[in-house]
Structure 1
Amino acid sequence: MANLLVGVDTGGTFTDIVLLQNGEFKVHKVLSTPDDPSRAILRGLNDLGILEKVGVLVHGSTVATNAVLEHKGVSTGLITTAGFRDVLEIGRQTRPRLYSLSAQKVPPLVPRELRVEVLERLDERGEVMTELDEASLARAIETLRTAGVEAVAISLLFSFANPTHEQRVARKVEEAGFYVSASSSILPEFREYERTSTTVLNAYIGPLIARYLERLEQELARSTRLRIMQSNGGSISSAMARREAARTVLSGPAAGVVGAVFAAQASGFEQTISFDIGGTSTDVALINGMASETTDGMVGGYPIKLPMIDIHTVGAGGGSIAWFDTGGALRVGPRSAGASPGPAAYGRGGTEATVTDANVVLGRLVPQDFLGGTMSLDQQAASQAVEKIAGRLNASPEEAALGMIRVVNANMEAAIRVISVERGCDPRDFTLVAFGGAGPLHACELAAALRIPRVLVPTVPGVLSALGTLVADTLKDYVRTVMVPAEVAEETVGSVLQDLERQGRQDLADEGIAPQNIRIERYLDLRYVGQSYELRIPFERDVEQAVRDFHAAHGQRFGYNDPNERVQVVNVRLKARGVTSKPELRRQQAVPDAQPETLSLRSVIFAGTGGEVVAYDAPVYARADLRSGTLFMGPAIVVQYDTTTVLPPGWRCYVDEVGNLILEQLEGR
């Protein structure tokens, strides 16, 4: 009988699978197949012998992200109000690099000749100024049909206030056989440029996601229910993901943050920073009881205003390639060796030095224990690749490898500062949750640089994103722009929240969520009158309390506030959460003075106090042998199937009751 719950995360190098059975996790990794991610998924399920037994498969996908980053979406057209076809190109006046004289804007996903206009006009209150002209709509549809577009985005002026015209356009476009993405369904919110950009992104990737999910569903057993992770950290049905594909652009990284929250809370930590190093990138996020969320995301230079976990990504991962810039400085990433050919150490033809190769040269990766011994690393190939870098630096291979690690760590450190220090939070108040295939390799050095007091390594760090898909709730986000002064907003806010809650409960019921498992979260987007940005504030009692909370939040975020200034309610938001049952991590009674069994001793290289090369004889421990209560000192290496944990000199490791590793730097180091 198909009753297994399986989580899958597709990464740039590996596809991770977590199986939950009888309260225990079983993990498996296979090399990704970028040309068709479903092939790796099916191979992994076949390896485990469970392809016909999966009841629910929750999938964190990179298909949407890659399509945007690589500009491989479908041919897309845009229908908009007459006079506004260039909104997508004009964008905003903000510049990513203020003083750059050669700044280049990313090209619009819809070229000008595929942006067509219809005669119609609403005012800012949604009242009709000019009725929709059916003849202009027919001409617009014929223009796009002649151009051979596959998908059509529809973004009419002020449709968030009154969707009637846009809904009529959408019906006609759908009848013409196009994939349709209408802003009144995707993002009924003000700000013309961001709303249009989000709607276009949804159209651009929608048919690709639809075809991919349909193909995957055909290959899975008929009884298997497929769910997809959203960027907001919740899952949605496959049918919803096909209609609103833009909600999945940060699917995989969001699942990792959900997994980090789950693992950290099991060990009693609420304030954490998730630190996920994969093969091609590092993703970091701030977790203050719950993951921080934003609606001002950017993917490949294109704004996307849908709710998503506030994740900052840098091109620094295990496969990141070392190179020299025009000034002769050593750089690492963002270019990656990916899954094929991969790092030189994989023995698949790669010859360029990567972060993985540097860790092999430094002795931090144990070649024969990689992936639990199912894949051996080629130490000689790694050394030869790093020697090319060493030659340019006029240094030894070990010095070059340390240099590569310092450079890539600096990139990761900057990413953590973005989501902590720049958000008004002190990293010293948080615990670093390290996961991904390479997270536990680098975590202690990053924590030391940022003075983060401890590192937590979950039980299955290398596949935590896949685990996150299993523990994620079903989430539905709703928004409505109201634009009313706070002092007269109580009635409007109450009415809108009532409407959104009714819709949220119905949508979750349609997904099979029982009423007792539905939780409603309410928020207001507030700003001082005249400001051009808002802060999201939880709405718990009344607008007056939300305004007081806004003043406090503004002070924390920006360093100032003005309680005497008038406040405006911009948007009303509601999150409908279908709470899923979470697996209980097995707790073990601590064994006092438990000593781990040493598998072997190996030479491991770290930087001395002056940056020099220092070799240590470090014990290698098997993660499976570490019992609750075990305490040991660094330097040490902990190997397991899905990752390797490096404990530098001056650090200690404690195994807590749920099996998580708690790493702390000794005082005075």
Structure 2
Amino acid sequence: MVIIGVDTGGTFTDFIFKKDGKWHIYKTLSTPENPAIAVLKGIKHIGHDQKKDITHGSTVATNAVLERKGAKTAFITNKGFEDIIYIGRQNRKELYNLFYRRPEPLVEQKHCYGINCRVNSKGEIIQEIDENEIDQIIQQLKQENIQSVAVSFLFSFLNPEHEKILKERLIQNGFYVTVSHELIPEFREYERSSTVVINSYVMPKMDYYISYIQENLLPEDQFRIIQSNGGVIAPEVAKKEPVRTVLSGPAGGVVGAYHIGKIIGQTRLITFDMGGTSTDVALIDGQIPFSTEATISDFPVKVPVIDIHTVGAGGGSIAYLDEGGALNVGPESAGADPGPICYGKGEKITVTDANLITGRLLPDYFLGGKIKLDYGRTYRYFEKYAQEWNIPVEKLAEGVLTIANTKMENAIRKISIERGHNPKDFALFVYGGAGGLHAAFLAKSIGIPKVIIPKNPGIFSAFGMLLSDIVKDYSLTVLLDARENSFNHLNQLFETLKEKAITDLKQEGIDQQNIKIQKILDMRYKGQSFEIFVPFSEKFIEDFHNIYEKNYGYKMPDKPVQIVNIRLRATGYKEKPEIEKIIEGTEQIPQEAIIDHRPVIFDGKEYKTAILNRDKLLANNEINSPAIIVEYSSTTVVPPFAKAIIDLYGNIIIEV
């Protein structure tokens, strides 16, 4: 069987695969009009006729929301609450922007419908659902050519009877349907409704995308999708709950970094994934960070996701003069088409072009020489813009890189310093096609002493997907007083979730001995609006106070504590690829690893810089002078202020 990991990015679609006992990598340009085309092209290149085990990270759900290209969707709730998704919350993203406008919801207001039915806060039905009303709404949905429907009734997490009745009728009439009690049985009707709307909005597109790929695979092929929580799910589940894949690709990289970090004894990491369109960062402090407060395009997504912060700065980010005449970069990207100037079609300066002009990116070693970058064309465009903007060419190139680095540095500050973490206590774990070009500069500016660049960083997210287990998240709102509920009583509440989790994982082919159950409580001081995660144990109240103090610097042991939600995470462990050691050498770099010496610009000066072939470097090799390390999927820069060593697993360890 061929084992394949696939990650779809804004510019490239990346593959890592094990065939005939050996690991290989492959990159192809993404096909934004239908991402499945690039995926299938890569699979055909690898070996379409062989039995395959494929794990795929998809951006289809994310892009459908960001680009507003989902299905025509309707929202159904209780009569009188049709405006839930329009009212939202009072929080304002840009407090001092007088012209700020929240993005329009994904459902038009005229397609928000209310039904006369009601369940109270105890889960009791106080008004039955009217079948005639359902018939009338279905007729309206058909007249409006609605394709997908989101259903979210008040207190359905306590009693889902009305949602079940409506779901059955809608499915009978050919609609895609999401009901809140199945996807997210929790309180807070706005966040729950928003999540259900996003799920319905992207469901038809995700269904088509996954089905299109499945139809072009062999019947015996195994195919799974990675979720935003870092676990994988069966394609049929992803079709029904596509909202769980909104951070699918970036999640794979964080999982991979966590596993590599454990192997090399580095459990405190800031992950840095720089691709063609954006940069994703996350902070790992001994464990993968999770959140239930993620947003996409400012819409709440209440399903558990890896806590990843994204900034619009990547290799394809476009440089321009802003309204004040200052040089700026991003968030607009040249993407895969037309791409950077050096690809041969683009006409706007990008971060990739700036790296080429400074000599940090080598035109004849990009993707192993399979794509030759056009330096002459790029320089001519730089001369044109440099003249228009009155900036010398080399200064313009370094300026673009400095601004891009500043934006990415701010993203790192957000997930570290702004949350009480000192970056000096962490290592920067870098991957993505463009990450190695910027890593050392970022580490220096923010005070991170060590940079780790794994093998094949340009396809590392795809590799991380192969390290992912099957993960299922379940939750239920309980709203209980912590002191009045014993450990045994709470344990009983978890049993229903546990039974469902084990059943679901067995259906995906996982044996019971390979299943791990984690129980978590969402807890808060009574009267507060937000909760923190507390691992469930016999001393859960004491643990809550201690975790609260760690997060906020104080605790209130005399104040009543509330359990808001119970959460259960079920992990089905599957076989993972082995992380292999490389051949050991000495401090001396082998002569066959030295390709050339070329001038490279750093801080306005040219430095004689060694060009090294990463595939020829051995463990223990030391790099003590400026160097450009080239490989198929990426390029790594070791600037004059840094030195590097190759560790036993082939990672480049840069010390700043």
TM above 0.5: yes
What pairs with 1:288-303 in structure 2 (closer than 5 Å)? 288-303=285-300
- Give the corresponding residue for 1:583: 577
2:631 matches 1:633 = no
| Distance in 2 between residues matched to 1:281 and 1:560, nearest whole Å | 37
| Distance in 1 between residues matched to 2:78 and 2:256, nearest whole Å | 43
| Distance in 2 between residues matched to 1:330 and 1:388, nearest whole Å | 15
| Distance in 1 between residues matched to 2:284 and 2:397, nearest whole Å | 32
Higher deviation after alignment, 616-625 or 161-170 = 161-170
CA change 1:393–1:489 in 2 (3 A) is farther
What pairs with 1:253-402 in structure 2 (closer than 5 Å)? 253-347=250-344, 349-402=345-398
2:634 partner amino acid: T
- Give the corresponding residue for 2:453: 457
- Give the corresponding residue for 2:601: 605
2:236 matches 1:226 = no
2:558 matches 1:564 = yes
Q: Secondary structure at the match of 2:76?
A: strand
- Give the corresponding residue for 2:609: 618
C-alpha contact (below 8 Å) 1:489/1:569 kept by paired residues:
no
- Give the corresponding residue for 1:499: 496
Report deviation, 1:555: 2.3
Contiguous gaps of at least 5 residues in structure 1: 608-612
| Distance in 2 between residues matched to 1:97 and 1:376, nearest whole Å | 43
| Distance in 2 between residues matched to 1:24 and 1:536, nearest whole Å | 41
C-alpha contact (below 8 Å) 1:351/1:381 kept by paired residues:
no
1:566 partner amino acid: P
CA change 1:532–1:418 in 2 (3 A) is same
| Distance in 1 between residues matched to 2:335 and 2:208, nearest whole Å | 24
| Distance in 2 between residues matched to 1:528 and 1:346, nearest whole Å | 56
| Distance in 2 between residues matched to 1:531 and 1:82, nearest whole Å | 29
Q: Could you list the per-position Cα deviations for residues 20-66 of structure 1 after superposition, in whole angstroms to 9, with x for gaps in the alignment?
A: 24664210000000111111112122223x11214211110011110
What pairs with 1:58-77 in structure 2 (closer than 5 Å)? 58-77=55-74
Q: Secondary structure at the match of 1:190?
A: coil
1:370 partner amino acid: F
| Distance in 2 between residues matched to 1:562 and 1:384, nearest whole Å | 65
2:195 matches 1:198 = yes
C-alpha contact (below 8 Å) 1:525/1:572 kept by paired residues:
yes
2:560 partner amino acid: R
2:340 partner amino acid: P
Higher deviation after alignment, 187-196 or 481-490 = 481-490
2:238 matches 1:241 = yes
Contiguous gaps of at least 5 residues in structure 2: none
What pairs with 1:466-481 in structure 2 (closer than 5 Å)? 466-481=462-477
Q: Could you list the per-position Cα deviations for residues 228-259 of structure 1 after superposition, in whole angstroms to 9, with x for gaps in the alignment?
A: 01000010000000000110111011111112
CA change 1:480–1:38 in 2 (3 A) is same
Report deviation, 1:492: 4.2
- Give the corresponding residue for 2:649: 658
2:151 matches 1:154 = yes
Report deviation, 1:661: 0.8
| Distance in 2 between residues matched to 1:102 and 1:469, nearest whole Å | 42
CA change 1:404–1:363 in 2 (3 A) is same
CA change 1:604–1:239 in 2 (3 A) is same
| Distance in 1 between residues matched to 2:51 and 2:307, nearest whole Å | 32
Q: Secondary structure at the match of 1:291?
A: coil
Of 171, 175, 179, the residue aligned with 2:176 is: 179
- Give the corresponding residue for 2:34: 36
- Give the corresponding residue for 2:95: 98
Q: Could you list the per-position Cα deviations for residues 510-550 of structure 1 after superposition, in whole angstroms to 9, with x for gaps in the alignment?
A: 000011110111110011100000011111x22xx222222
Q: Secondary structure at the match of 2:534?
A: strand
1:482 partner amino acid: V
TM-score (norm 2): 0.98
Identity %: 44
- Give the corresponding residue for 2:44: 46
1:212 partner amino acid: Y
2:27 partner amino acid: K
| Distance in 1 between residues matched to 2:180 and 2:238, nearest whole Å | 16
Report deviation, 1:562: 1.5
| Distance in 2 between residues matched to 1:162 and 1:146, nearest whole Å | 31
| Distance in 1 between residues matched to 2:415 and 2:197, nearest whole Å | 28
Of 568, 571, 574, the residue aligned with 1:574 is: 568
Of 414, 419, 422, the residue aligned with 1:418 is: 414
Paired residues in the alignment total: 653
- Give the corresponding residue for 2:430: 434
CA change 1:388–1:526 in 2 (3 A) is farther
1:136 partner amino acid: E
| Distance in 2 between residues matched to 1:411 and 1:596, nearest whole Å | 37
Of 119, 124, 131, the residue aligned with 1:122 is: 119
Report deviation, 1:382: 1.8
Moved over 6 A (4+): none
Higher deviation after alignment, 138-147 or 205-214 = 138-147
2:162 matches 1:165 = yes
2:71 matches 1:80 = no
| Distance in 1 between residues matched to 2:155 and 2:20, nearest whole Å | 52
| Distance in 1 between residues matched to 2:119 and 2:489, nearest whole Å | 21
Q: Secondary structure at the match of 1:357?
A: helix
C-alpha contact (below 8 Å) 1:267/1:660 kept by paired residues:
no
Of 204, 221, 242, the residue aligned with 1:207 is: 204
Q: Secondary structure at the match of 2:496?
A: helix
Q: Secondary structure at the match of 2:55?
A: strand
- Give the corresponding residue for 2:589: 595
2:248 matches 1:251 = yes
1:414 partner amino acid: N
| Distance in 1 between residues matched to 2:21 and 2:394, nearest whole Å | 44
RMSD between superposed Cα atoms in Å: 1.2
C-alpha contact (below 8 Å) 1:482/1:569 kept by paired residues:
yes
- Give the corresponding residue for 2:637: 646
C-alpha contact (below 8 Å) 1:520/1:575 kept by paired residues:
yes
2:4 partner amino acid: V
CA change 1:95–1:555 in 2 (3 A) is same
CA change 1:550–1:382 in 2 (3 A) is farther
C-alpha contact (below 8 Å) 1:79/1:140 kept by paired residues:
no
1:578 partner amino acid: G
Report deviation, 1:124: 1.2
Report deviation, 1:561: 2.2
| Distance in 2 between residues matched to 1:426 and 1:546, nearest whole Å | 28
C-alpha contact (below 8 Å) 1:259/1:467 kept by paired residues:
yes
Report deviation, 1:150: 0.4
